[in-house]
Chains A and B, each alone.
Chain A
Amino acid sequence: MGSVYALLGIGFSLSWGVMKVINISHAAFGLIAAFLAYTLLQAWGLDPILSIAVSVPLLFFAACFIYRFLITPITQAKEVIVSSMILTFGIAIILENLMLLIWSPDPRVLTTSYTSKVIIVGPFYFQYPRLAGFLMASMGVGIIQFFLKLTYTGKAVRAAWQQPDAAQLYGVNLKRISMITFGLAVASAGAGGVCMAYLYSFEPHTHSLWLIYLFLVVIVGGVGNVLGAASAGLIIGVITGLSLAFLPYQWVNLLTFGLLMIILILRPQGLFQSEV
């Protein structure tokens, strides 16, 4: 299920790398999309995959708005990383309480008509929701990669990151590009959040657990490295998957984070380089 972690983590990694904004509320935005998918499913029976068409644009515009009015002022600060963490931590708390108000603290699961269906291919069998989550997340990662590598705006994002001054000298409007990057990062968290909701139950507090995985993806994958994040997501997915198969549930996180610590001790710069 690594591609889901990857999709959730890529945007986090991008805003960290490009804008030096460590967005603590990243996972909370993803969780909002998950709840939205839940409500749309309950109310109108809308497939969670289709709910993404609602939540992604919504999150994009909300994030642009937040960037313009809350984050732009602190980009002038000396310690952008620290101030952004404090600010977005505040946003995360607000979002969490908003979710508590709207959706109550009960754990939810996305139950669709195909929840218990499986596909059997030779000796393997795949659960439908997991397959859907996997395919969607892989597609999301692919779209982001396509955006960064092949569109003009995506190239401007990479240029602005590598040489902000030179990018401006050739016509890149840094404020606008940062706003779009932040918007897309948060929007991708929305898609990632829905994919996560396919796999696990969630409640308004779940984003703090997801956040830990985000840090894991960035630390293993390298800051701002899309392919690194994807690989890191896969590695984490495989480790949690394997340990779930052989170990009692309580051991899974212990193993995952034990591994994280070993990586940090052996390769403090992460497994992959920081680049876009």
Chain B
Amino acid sequence: MLAVNDLEVHYQELRALRGVSLEVTQADLVALIGSNGAGKTTLLNTISGLIPAVKGQVSWRGNSILGFSADAICQEGIIQVPEGRKLFSKMTVGENLEMGAYLPTARAYIAENLQMVFDIFPRLAERRKQLAGSLSGGEQQMVAVARAIMARPQLLMLDEPSLGLAPVMAADIFQVVEDLNQRGITILLISQEVLHTLTIATYAYVLENGKVTLDGTAQHLLDDPRIKESYLGL
């Protein structure tokens, strides 16, 4: 479905991605793990069209999408929940959700999708009129995920959705991600909570210093001694 090939991205002299290749198959839940500064966010932002690549290929359903603008990528059904949520904090929860469905293709299903979002996060229905910036961290993360659902993703990419959340809240978010995957949405999940991520993922990639150093089925990686040592502290 999504194939990244030999992708190279630079910030001035810094080579943030040095030839990354990765594949996401339809209906999979693919995990991307790696330590701070490995280049995970850079990879998502390049796929989303926010950062240009120096070299390489990104193809979506067989067609190259590298060089597309971010709004064109969104139009393709590739939706990102960005790191740090990036909510429209001076707009209400309801308006944030509406902005998720900004494109006409998503707008046509707005009522139906709102219903689904409020089923998943009943708390957001109560907070609909409240400014997004005034919510708690956990509630804000719900809005960020809900906004992405409103966009009717075919591929949903989440960048550390559980960062800074209490364990219960984080578990809830992981549960939602798993449910969305079960509903047929393909997922690319970045997370530093390696154990939890690998238990819900089907396939996983490890990114280190801008390179994929390890990949395999999630079960396979859970058993890998290198993962156990560097990421699970076992």
Contact = CB atoms under 8 A, between A and B. Distances in A.
Contacts of A276: 90
B91 A169 contact: no
Contacts of B103: 170-171
Name which of B70, B86, B87 has the most chain A CB atoms within 10 A of its CB. Answer: B70
Interface string B74-113: 1100011010001111110001001110110011000000
A152 interface: yes
Contacts of A162: 88-91
Contacts of A163: 86-89
Interface residues of B, number: 27
Interface in A131-178: 152, 155-156, 158-159, 162-163, 165-174
A171 B82 contact: no
A275 B132 CA distance: 14
Contacts of A156: 99, 102
A170 B100 contact: yes
A159 B91 contact: yes
Contacts of B95: 155
Contact of B50 (A152, A159, A168, A171): A168
A266 B100 CA distance: 40
Contacts, number: 71
B90 A171 contact: no
Contacts of B70: 165, 168-169
Interface in A164-220: 165-174
Contact of B99 (A155, A165, A173): A155
Interface string B146-190: 010001000000000000000000000000000000000000000
Interface string A214-253: 0000000000000000000000000000000000000000
Contacts of A275: 90
A173 B71 CA distance: 6
Contact of B88 (A158, A168, A171, A173): A158
A168 B69 contact: yes
A171 B87 contact: no
Contact of A166 (B69, B87, B98, B107): B87
Given A155-B98, A156-B99, A165-B50, A170 B151 contact: yes
A166 B79 CA distance: 10
Contacts of A168: 49-50, 69-71, 74
B141 interface: no
Interface string B199-211: 0000000000000
A64 to B, nearest CB: 19
B46 interface: no
Contacts of B151: 170-171
A171 B86 contact: no
Contacts of B90: 158, 162, 275-276
B191 interface: no
A58 B156 CA distance: 43
B102 A171 contact: yes
A158 B133 CA distance: 14
A169 B48 contact: yes
Nearest to A153: B102
Contacts of B80: 169
8 closest cross-chain pairs (CB), A and B: A168-B70, A166-B86, A171-B103, A171-B74, A171-B102, A173-B71, A171-B71, A159-B88
10 contacts: A155-B98, A155-B99, A156-B99, A158-B90, A163-B89, A166-B87, A168-B71, A170-B103, A171-B151, A172-B99
